């Protein structure tokens, strides 16, 4: 019976990983080149962040860009979003637990996407 538990745990973890990956498949379908281009035109600062995380764009796309915040294990997190102007968005991360997070960006009009890792202190 001892060998069944580790096998079950492995299968369950594999199943959770696949289910979690499928829920984020829209971000995985973008080519690396396209994602890199969008990532070059965006600045995410300060890193590490304490109270706020600023996202600055080279183009005026702040109002139409979708931002999704994920914790390091892939669960979506809530963060208050404030559009400063057409070029900048500010996320309030003050209430998030300390740790690493991923910020996924998607411009609905141009279909450009990017993912940024940051540390919240």
- Domains defined along the chain, listed by start: 30-120 (2.60.40.10)
- For the beta carbon of residue 77, count every other beta carbon within 10 angstroms: 14
Express each pLDDT in 102-114 by its tens digit. Answer: 999 999 888 889 9
Q: Which runs of consecutive H residues, i.e. helices, occur in 24-70?
A: 25-28, 32-40
pLDDT band at 40 (very low <50, low <70, confident <90, very high): confident
Express each pLDDT in 64-87 by its tens digit. Answer: 999 999 999 999 999 999 999 999
């Amino acid at each position: 019976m001892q060998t069944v538990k580790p096998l079950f745990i492995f299968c369950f973890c594999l199943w959770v990983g696949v289910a979690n990956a499928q829920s984020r498949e829209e971000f995985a379908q973008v080519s690396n080149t396209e994602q890199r281009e969008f990532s070059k035109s965006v600045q995410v600062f300060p890193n590490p962040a304490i109270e706020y995380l600023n996202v600055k764009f080279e183009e005026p796309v702040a109002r139409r860009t979708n931002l999704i915040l994920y914790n390091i294990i892939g669960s979506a997190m809530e963060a208050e979003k404030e559009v400063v102007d057409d070029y900048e968005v500010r996320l309030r991360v003050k209430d998030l637990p300390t740790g690493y997070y991923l910020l996924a960006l998607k411009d609905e009009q141009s279909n450009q996407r990017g993912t940024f890792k940051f540390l919240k202190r």
